[in-house]
Amino acid sequence: MTKDDSRRIVITGIGMTAPNGNSLSEYRTNLLECRPRIGTMDLRYMGLTPAGICDFDALRYQKKRELRVGTRAGSVSIYCARESLADSGMDWEAMDSNRIGVYVGTTEHGNVETENEVHNISQFDYDTRFWSHHHNPRTVANNPAGEVTLNLGIHGPHYTIGAACAAGNAGMIQGAQMLLLGEVDVALAGGVSESIRSFGIFAGFRSQGALATNEDPNKASRPFDQERNGIVVSEGGALYTLERLSDAKKRGAHIHAEIAGWCINSDASDYVLPNAERQAECMNRAMKMAKMTPKDIGILSTHATATKQGDIQECKAIRSVFGADSKTCINNTKSYIGHCMGAAGALELAGNLPSFLDGVVHPTINVDSLDPECDLPNLILNKPVEGVAVDAILNSSFGMLGINSTLIVRRFTK
């Protein structure tokens, strides 16, 4: 029985910026050539610290005044949204702008601006007359998505979705749901992060004993490695153009993939320590929605952040779902770009999507000595694997306060 095309949600555009690429082609090349790009930031109160820094042309779509008034998260969102729409080939200006929705997942928003403003007025004896009148619109929770609507003249709904490091998947899930509800005809959806602009995030991870250190910044992010010592905080973004298949067919759109299933659930067990049982439940429920089993999944994109317990808990979850003899290729992208927080899931999915066409799976890098507790079947390490038939990708993202998200996409077939 053929599924109604109006109930099938497809990806028709991808726009992104990551520390190692400002387009999908550049990003993918660096993943397959095992080229990370982690730099250092001279952070207030902390000194030089490894960080993933994006280098996109913000002035391509914004004026200098808009950059001064707005936020880094907003700028990343605008760049990704514009690139995604360009990739979609959509004549969006001819569309009813009330029928376009913007759904941007993020880990946090407003910390950067607040920290900077407090520091600025500290130079003037904390005289609030020197507090920026741009502060409120910069820090409201809907800012990144709202800046996209201002830049593009979009009149449909916009949400910024706070879902910790599960936010990239959550943004895409929200977009798909709104399309299925008939609330919009096009959804710009995914995740962004400006987290490297906030010293508080770095300081928090350091005090937790979870901030990566390494003499070579490009070796600092090392998920699954025995010597891993924490997270590399990074910025970035990936927004997707989502449509109902019936609409995409009408305009002859190129289709990157189809969204097959998803799940978001909660651990309800700890502020920061992941719960393997709930993570496994999230993956299983997403596969049930997609009408798939573990054998149907060609690539499992892991969340692993290179924290000791976080990686171990996720590996426990994967073993319980996929078993000891799984043929599913398992990889990780944070070893190249660090942890892009709210953008992580969206960027990690983007890096794997080309596998539908080229049959190549990029590896996890920086694994010199695999932690035995992270030894998974078919874990792809340090060099790509070719000739893989990939029909479905399972993308996992998990976040603080126990929020878990799984998104499954399938190769598009008519």
Give the residue numbers annotated as catalytic, written as ranges: 165, 303, 339
Distance of CA 317 to the CA centre of its chain: 20
Tell me if residue 259 falls in helix, strand or coil.
strand
Tell me if residue 31 falls in helix, strand or coil.
helix
Give 37's DSSP letter: -
Start-to-end CA distance of the chain, whole Å, equals 13
Closest CA to 243 of 3, 5, 19: 5
Strand order in the sheet with 299-301: 158-162, 100-106, 186-193, 236-244, 9-17, 257-266, 403-410, 392-399, 299-301, 329-331
204 near 353, Cβ under 8 Å? no
Strand segments, DSSP code E, in 146-209 are 158-162, 186-193
Tell me if residue 136 falls in helix, strand or coil.
helix
Separation between Cα atoms, residue 150 and residue 172, nearest integer Å = 21
